[in-house]
Amino acid sequence: MTDESRPADRPGRRLPLPETIADAVANAIATGALQPGDRVVETSLAEELKVSRVPTREALKVLATQGILVAGPHKGYRVASFDEATVSRILEIRLSLESILLRDAIQNWQARAADFAELEAVIAALEAAAAAGDKRASLRADLEFHRAIGRASGNGIALTLWEAIARHVLIIFSRAEYRDDDLGAVVEQHRQLLAFIQARAATRGSMEEIRQGIEDHLLRIPRDRARSGGHLADTSGG
């Protein structure tokens, strides 16, 4: 795996070693260092990451359980293929979970003085990533924006389920949605979502409105690219 595929620490917490290893493999798939069908060998991975085989074995089992790796003969693993049906299912699950998380977060923001500093800080990180042309940093910040909404929701069950598909989202969106010319558009996309959240926190929005807002956010880049013949203009104004 390349240095680019190695995981950065998630903000605010130190992960157990098996989770860190699993993130490293997911990052390698997301960045293309590992391709669908490639073998992932426990001993080689442990040597490369300079860790022992026990946490490496645990990490590979987690990834196989999540469907990111496929167990093969002789206890080996291969990178799974994410076909159109799988991508569609992940998007549907993400939409449902994020609608619930955003609804609960908005209710919490309505019940107290809303503080959007964390979301604004993540948008600043997205802007820095776009300016640097850093796709991987943009992806991490994108996920962290939605993770911050999850934390604000106070809904631990839904957030745990969301975390279970976070690696799928990283892989699918890095390989299928994000391109270098999309990074400025991603910033604007999140600015618009924050404006939507702030407006709903100041009023009362129905669950259907919240779900539609999340759906528009998740699908805007693919829809805009389809309309423009495969590429996006930078809509961030700079």
Separation between Cα atoms, residue 101 and residue 94, nearest integer Å = 10
Q: Answer yes or no: is pLDDT of 202 > 70.
A: yes
pLDDT mean over 69-84: 88
Q: Answer yes or no: is pLDDT of 31 > 60.
A: yes
Q: Which of 236, 214, 232 is nearest to 223 (CA)?
A: 232
Write out pLDDT tens, residues 159-196: 999 998 999 988 887 775 555 567 888 899 999 999 99
Radius of gyration of the chain (CA): 18
**List of E strands, the chain:** 39-40, 69-71, 77-79
Which of 25-34, 81-90, 147-156, 162-171 is the most confident on average? 147-156
Q: Which residues contact 172 (CB under 8 A, 6 or more apart)?
A: 82, 87, 90, 91
**pLDDT tier for residue 26 given thresholds of 50, 70 and 90:** very high
* pLDDT score of 140: 84
| Distance linking the first and last C-alpha atoms of the chain | 34
Q: Answer yes or no: is pLDDT of 13 > 90.
A: no
Domains and CATH numbers, the chain: 3-79 (1.10.10.10), 84-227 (1.20.120.530)
**pLDDT tier for residue 222 given thresholds of 50, 70 and 90:** low
Amino acid identity, residue 146? H
**Which of 43-52, 109-118, 203-212 is least confident?**
203-212
Q: What is the pTM of this model?
A: 0.77
pLDDT mean over 59-79: 91
Which of 42-46, 173-177, 229-233 is the most confident on average? 42-46
* pLDDT score of 180: 58
Q: Answer yes or no: is pLDDT of 128 > 80.
A: yes
Pairwise pLDDT comparison (197 vs 204), residue with the higher score: 197
pLDDT mean over 30-40: 92
Angle in degrees, 0-180, between the axes of helices 42-49 and 53-65, rounded to the nearest 10: 120
